[in-house]
Amino acid sequence: MEEWLHINVKGAAVPEADVVILGGGSGGYACALRASQLGLSVVLIEKGKLGGTCLHRGCIPTKALLHAAEVADSARESENFGVKATLEGIDMPKVNSYRDGVVSRLYKGLQGLVKSRDVTYVEGEGRLTSPNTVTVDGTDYTGKHVVLATGSYARTLPGLEIGGRIMTSDQALTLDYVPEKVIVLGGGVIGVEFASVWKSFGSDVTIIEALPRLVAAEDEAISKAFERAYRKRKINAKTGVQFQSATQDDNGVHVALDNGETLDADLLLVAVGRGPQASGLGYEEAGIAMDRGWVLVDERQRTNVPGVFAVGDITPGLQLAHRGFQHGIFVAEEIGGLHPRPIADINIPRVTYSEPEIGSVGLTEAQAKEQFGDDAVSVYEYNLGGNGKSQILATTGFIKLVQRTDGPVVGVHMIGARIGEQIGEAQLIVNWEAYPEDVATLVHAHPTQNEAMGEAHLALAGKPLHAHA
């Protein structure tokens, strides 16, 4: 235990805090940092590592792998740019040590932040023993408010046991070799992300998805373009097909599908979603309303029990780190009496990190038509073929705008290499309810991919520049 951690003395009396937070992931630590900034006394309880899933087993390590994958692709394709280089192979232990270096620098920084903000950090497994008490190792931590932030875990399917060659993202991140052949079960964000990394590292990859398309939560046009891009990369995808069973032996893993097909590979990655880590922690006993394991909250993150809030992945909705940060900050400000404005899930930016990337925020075309009516929605797609920087990067794709006719832009959907970086402006446009004419008057630097955002709005405002009317 590090010297700055709060030392538990079993049974010792601990003064009541303003806020007791259970779970030190994105949601929990953001809440702790903001609450202490507001002058509230804070106890933050974490059984594993401060930073949670995102920092240690999620966002950060996977994006480091994706960057290494991009470097591999650049070496492989260098000749296209007149550069003589060859890809000799992937040294997975070195990739992992680069990745671990990134994580450990951020971890150190975060520990320093929490320490500097005067948060009482308690290392240990907590349990809600009354609506205002969390007990760790026999010591009660009582708070005027309690924030539940215990996050999520990687799910599997009934009868599909994790172990050996069958793994979730947790084990996949610890591999010290590149598998020759992989099956990825699930074509959502985590599945396609790993598929992208492994393909760039040289694996033969097949994705199995029960829904009719990959990244099915995205606008249909994006999803179709994504499938085309994966086909071009020779990533196999079997959509609209159900997994039936898997067995493993010394030779590999053998997967049976409901269409009678069987597939063999070295590994099976199970990426079928994440479930709430909320059972057995005393929540039900304290009277917290739950639905299939999720902690239910209102739009102000309040559970049904007065004084108890919940944030991040244990609440139903998008499972994203920045949603957790936002929830955490929101709850701290709510407790601090600042009456913050809630942000609906639909307006939280989403990025699928892969080659190509997807960035989206707001309503898809189908959702907008359902909400406003077919005739009340205008759509424009700006092709990256007309964008200088995208040509330089040799990427294809588009930015699709969904507008409430004669009204604001209610959805931005993008696909292309590195296009996730454009999500910043996209989310400002949607959240500030900008009209195409508002954005069209703003200047976008040349040559950037960001220009495509400006061009799309110029076109929707009726004055296209580098696009046909």
Contacts with ligand FAD: how many residues (CB under 6 A)? 36
Question: Could you say whether residue 139 binds ligand FAD (CB under 6 A)?
Answer: no
To the nearest whole angstrom, how small is the minimum distance from the Cβ of residue 108 to ligand FAD? 17
- From candidates 34, 35, 36, 53, binder to ligand FAD by CB under 6 A: 53
**What is d(CA 70, CA 64) in angstroms, rounded to the nearest whole number?**
10
Q: Which is nearer to ligand FAD, 148 or 460 (CB)?
A: 148
Question: Could you say whether residue 28 binds ligand FAD (CB under 6 A)?
Answer: yes
DSSP state letter for 163 = B
To the nearest whole angstrom, how small is the minimum distance from the Cβ of residue 463 to ligand FAD? 36
Sequence-separated (6 or more) residues with CB below 8 Å from residue 293: 275, 276, 278, 279
- From candidates 77, 79, 118, 125, binder to ligand FAD by CB under 6 A: 125
- From candidates 186, 312, 349, 416, binder to ligand FAD by CB under 6 A: 312
**What is d(CA 417, CA 357) in angstroms, rounded to the nearest whole number?**
5
To the nearest whole angstrom, how small is the minimum distance from the Cβ of residue 213 to ligand FAD? 21
- From candidates 143, 151, 356, 464, binder to ligand FAD by CB under 6 A: 151
Q: How many residues does the chain have?
A: 469
Question: Interface with ligand FAD by CB under 6 A: which range of 147-155, 291-299, 333-341, 369-377?
Answer: 147-155
Give me the residue label for tokens 């920087």: 389
User: What is the contact mask toward ligand FAD in residues 362 to 401, using x (rule: CB under 6 A)?
Assistant: ----------------------------------------
Measured CA distances, 254 to 257, 268, 391, 456 (Å): 10, 9, 42, 47
Pair 297, 27: CB distance under 8 Å:
no
Closest chain position to ligand FAD (CB): 25
Question: Could you say whether residue 24 binds ligand FAD (CB under 6 A)?
Answer: yes
Question: Could you say whether residue 22 binds ligand FAD (CB under 6 A)?
Answer: yes
Question: Could you say whether residue 321 binds ligand FAD (CB under 6 A)?
Answer: yes
**Quick one: tokens of 271?**
């990426």
Q: Which is nearer to ligand FAD, 319 or 390 (CB)?
A: 319
User: What is the contact mask toward ligand FAD in residues 189 to 218, using x (rule: CB under 6 A)?
Assistant: -x----------------------------
Question: Could you say whether residue 185 binds ligand FAD (CB under 6 A)?
Answer: no
User: Which is nearest to 205 in space by CA: 231, 175, 181?
Assistant: 181
Give buried/exposed letters for 190-218 (b at 16+ CB in 10 A, else e): bbbbbbbbbbbbebbbbbbbbeebbbeeb
Q: Annotated catalytic, 446?
A: yes
User: Which is nearest to 130 in space by CA: 142, 139, 120, 138?
Assistant: 142
Pair 120, 6: CB distance under 8 Å:
yes
From the CB of residue 181, how many other CB atoms can be counted at a distance below 10 Å?
Answer: 16
Question: Could you say whether residue 59 binds ligand FAD (CB under 6 A)?
Answer: yes
**What is d(CA 84, CA 247) in angstroms, rounded to the nearest whole number?**
44
Question: Could you say whether residue 288 binds ligand FAD (CB under 6 A)?
Answer: no
Measured CA distances, 465 to 183, 398, 405, 406 (Å): 45, 16, 21, 20
3-state secondary structure of 465: coil
User: What is the contact mask toward ligand FAD in residues 323 to 362, using x (rule: CB under 6 A)?
Assistant: -x----------------------------x---------
To the nearest whole angstrom, how small is the minimum distance from the Cβ of residue 48 to ligand FAD? 4
Q: Which of 446, 457, 466, 468 is catalytic?
A: 446
Question: Could you say whether residue 58 binds ligand FAD (CB under 6 A)?
Answer: yes
Instruction: Kindly tell me the sign of the dihedral angle through the C-alpha atoms of 325, 326, 332, 338.
Output: positive
The stretches of 183-241 forming alpha helices (DSSP H) are 189-200, 220-232
- From candidates 144, 155, 322, 369, binder to ligand FAD by CB under 6 A: 322
Contacting residues toward ligand FAD, per CB under 6 A: 22-28, 45-48, 52-54, 57-59, 62, 125-126, 149-152, 169, 190, 277, 281, 312-313, 319-322, 324, 353
Please give the positions annotated as active site: 446
